[in-house]
């Protein structure tokens, strides 16, 4: 949840209730600690959707309307409420005080800082389409280009970074970052991709192109990068079986690759990241 979005939501007029999963037994759509926020006419976040969430939202709005401070729910996720997860969850519903709101924003800021970073190197058609997708996921997405006019065409709510030397952005990225290389120049693609591979800690390194371009890059690394291995390189990117070359379709396939890499068992990502992605995929 973006901290700024949460701050704006909490600063609006009217009381707010917090819904937090305090205990989860068995199968549940979300993990213990998951939180959402409820107003009389607006929601932010999710505790898993379905009938469970519907019942909890109604209980929260009843609490706000009655002026009560807190309520506890113990809900079986079975036929009783029309769900089939088979688990059981406990939910704490609390009318938020000013200090509660400040603490929630601070926690969201910490969560934002811990999100996996995705660096899109190239703000052309596919790069912008990727930014459009990633803005909806719990990621820190940076769209990087040497061309201000290309960056200006992106309307995604991600960081846009004008960089004359984008390889420095690769060098300074956080450990475990993902790098998607799709610039306007093959030579620059090779330079940035080799820099990402040389880090040795990237969760994903992908370069737009073809099998022929991959082979050329492998030969280039032998000559210019002291035999740098390209075994971890994804190229072509988004090769999921579709022959559709429209930017939005390519971006969707690449996004799936990146999310898979960031949510693997060996990836160092925020503990609730995989849970959040699963919920988005189910919507």
pLDDT in tens, 120-163: 999 999 999 999 999 989 899 999 999 999 999 999 999 999 99
What's the burial of 109, exposed, middle or buried (CB within 10 Å: 0-12/13-18/19+)? middle
DSSP state letters, 87-101: -EEEEEEEE--HHHH
Backbone angles phi, psi at 258, to 5 degrees: -65, -45
Region 19-36: mean pLDDT is 91
pLDDT band at 2 (very low <50, low <70, confident <90, very high): confident
Contact (CB, 8 A) for 65 and 100: no
Mean pLDDT (the chain, rounded): 89
Within 10 angstroms of residue 78's Cβ, the number of other Cβ atoms is 14
Task: Give Cα 196 to chain centroid, integer Å.
Answer: 20
Q: What is the pairing mode between strands 117-121 and 70-76?
A: unpaired
pLDDT band at 280 (very low <50, low <70, confident <90, very high): very low
């Amino acid at each position: 949840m973006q901290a700024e979005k949460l701050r704006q939501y909490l600063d609006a007029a009217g009381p707010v209730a917090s819904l937090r999963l305090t205990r989860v037994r068995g199968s549940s759509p979300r993990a213990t600690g998951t939180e959402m926020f409820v107003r009389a006419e607006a929601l932010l976040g999710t505790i898993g959707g379905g009938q469970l969430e519907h019942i909890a939202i109604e209980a929260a709005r009843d609490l706000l309307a009655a002026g009560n401070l807190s309520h506890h729910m113990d809900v079986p996720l079975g036929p009783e409420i029309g769900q089939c997860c088979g688990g059981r969850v406990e939910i704490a519903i609390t009318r938020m005080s000013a200090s509660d709101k400040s603490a929630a924003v601070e926690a969201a800021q910490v969560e934002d800082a811990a999100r996996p970073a995705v660096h899109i190197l190239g703000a052309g058609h596919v790069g912008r389409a990727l930014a459009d997708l990633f803005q909806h996921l719990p990621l820190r997405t940076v769209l990087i280009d040497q061309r201000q006019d290309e960056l200006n065409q992106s309307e995604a709510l991600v960081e846009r970074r004008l960089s004359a030397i984008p390889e420095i952005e690769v060098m300074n990225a956080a450990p475990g970052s993902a790098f998607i290389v799709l610039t306007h120049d093959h030579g620059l693609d090779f330079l940035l991709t080799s820099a990402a591979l040389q880090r040795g800690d990237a969760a994903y390194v992908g370069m737009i192109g073809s099998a022929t371009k991959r082979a050329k890059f492998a030969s280039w690394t032998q000559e210019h990068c002291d035999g740098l291995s390209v075994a971890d390189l994804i190229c072509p990117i988004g090769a999921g079986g579709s022959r559709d070359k429209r930017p939005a379709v390519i971006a969707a396939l690449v996004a799936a690759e990146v999310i898979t890499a960031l949510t693997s068992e060996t990836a160092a990502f925020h503990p609730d990241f995989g849970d959040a992605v699963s919920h988005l995929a189910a919507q």
